[in-house]
Structure 1
Amino acid sequence: MIMKDNTLRKSYILQNLPLQLPGLEISPLFRHATDKALHNVCYTDYTSAEESRQKYAHYEHDEIVDIDFIWHPHATQQSCVPDQQQFDWAVASHAREHVPDPLGWILEVLAVLNDGAVFSLVLHNKRYCLDWFRQTSSAAQWLQWWLTRQRIPAPQQLYDFLRHCTSDDGEI
């Protein structure tokens, strides 16, 4: 399903989440699904909002949200959460494809969720983004990355991304 309407996208992502309880949005950047004015949410990313604003200054996105805590690439999420807080729900939209160890990443998210919590994981459709030509990761790759505890992308992952990525207009 492709959703160009951001309101529809947000309602689809947030359905069935207990938004009045403490929640976590991972890597919200400029297309966050939640709103601090409406939801009991903490934002986390691997960089501060200021670093993201500088990094993406050439894009026309002025809605980069302030981050509550940084999930450092060489630390577990559990060690980065202030006061060892636990959450009743989590949202990650288009974040999974940017992590070098998907299985380890999912397990780290689950480690900061209470029993019975809901994890709304939004995966991109590679037919409509820069991953058009990339191969789908295999279960063997996921296991290898988890067993080697990839905290930053391996050279193979970087090469694969750069070799197969396209721009928004379909150019390689």
Structure 2
Amino acid sequence: RYFVTNPQFDARQQLFINQIDLGGIGLEIGPGYSPIVPKSAGFRVETADHANAEQLREKYRGAPGVDIGRIEEVDHILDGRPLVEVFEPGRYDYVIASHVIEHLPDLAGFLESCHALLKPTGVLALAVPDKRACFDFYQPVSTAGQVIDAHLRKATRPSPGAVFDNAAYRASSEGRIAWPLGSRDPVQLDGDTTWAVHGLRQAVESDRYIDVHVWRFVPSSFRLMLADLAAAGFPAWREKAFLATSNFEFFFFLMPAFTVTGVDRLALLSASLREQLAVVR
């Protein structure tokens, strides 16, 4: 059993540890070179990633600030199938996905699978980049309708349009692709349509998987997206805890809900607009 005073974990890991019963069985999606709950620390956790450990070490070898020694053996290689077809439903006390959901072609399918994989008392722990404090700054927030569209067309890779937008509207601040939310430094537009058209052609003409941010959120827009998905018949969630953006990310800890609870959609829409307007330079 691990407690919040364990000195081997950094402050960010503690945020997860404080909210999850780590005495149970966990699943971490996409731990890469920075696992939240390392198997080497004794956690009963399975891992799933897009490549095996050897391939991940080769991919990140020499990358600035990356300790490839932290990369652990991967239990399951993700191959595009829904998670619920790969893992045992109802087995897990927690599922962790840190900076994963924004990349997923089928976000609704992922959330649906996690709902099925968790025990009724389980927790889905998400770290989500805040679009106000990263290279998505100039892009609009994503909606439930867009998430549903991707699910219904069984998306297995980012769309050509997502690849185009990622290149056309990419931002930075003082050379950084992510920055503290409270920063007042100017935000530059690095993207351009020449680069975007090149990416678009690659996405259309080749079979290569082009990894980009498919989805963008601020805290209130994420809440609204979850509520609207539930209203549309997708599995519902209840919020166990929320940790507001302190740097360039926010955290949601969600538990499966089995009834749909109404929300004040106008209040969430208004809050989402206020959150976005607060960072306009």
**Normalising by structure 1, what TM-score?**
0.84
The question of 1:44 aligning with 2:48 is answered yes
The question of 1:18 aligning with 2:21 is answered yes
Counterparts of 2:132 and 2:139 in 1: how far apart (Å)? 10
Flag the 1:52–1:163 CA change in 2: closer, same or farther, 3 A.
Answer: farther
- Structure 1: 5+ residue runs without aligned partners? 1-5
- Any residues of structure 2 matched to 1:94-105 within 5 Å, and which? 94-105=99-110
Flag the 1:129–1:52 CA change in 2: closer, same or farther, 3 A.
Answer: farther
- Any residues of structure 2 matched to 1:59-98 within 5 Å, and which? 59-60=63-64, 61=66, 62=68, 63-73=70-80, 75-81=81-87, 84=88, 86-98=91-103
Q: Which residue of 2 aligns with 1:3?
A: none
Deviation at 1:57, TM superposition (A): 2.5
Q: Which residue of 1 aligns with 2:30?
A: 27
4+ runs deviating over 4 angstroms = none
Say which one has the larger Rg.
Answer: 2
Deviation at 1:111, TM superposition (A): 2.1
Alignment length (residue pairs): 164
Deviation at 1:11, TM superposition (A): 0.8
- Structure 2: 5+ residue runs without aligned partners? 1-8, 177-187, 191-281
Q: Which residue of 1 aligns with 2:136?
A: 131
Aligned-residue sequence identity (percent) comes to 27
Which protein has greater RCO, CA pairs closer than 8 Å, 6+ apart? 1
The question of 1:140 aligning with 2:145 is answered yes
Q: CA RMSD in A?
A: 2.0
**Normalising by structure 2, what TM-score?**
0.54
Counterparts of 1:165 and 1:29 in 2: how far apart (Å)? 24
Is this contact kept in 2: 1:72–1:80, CA < 8 A? no
Counterparts of 2:20 and 2:49 in 1: how far apart (Å)? 21
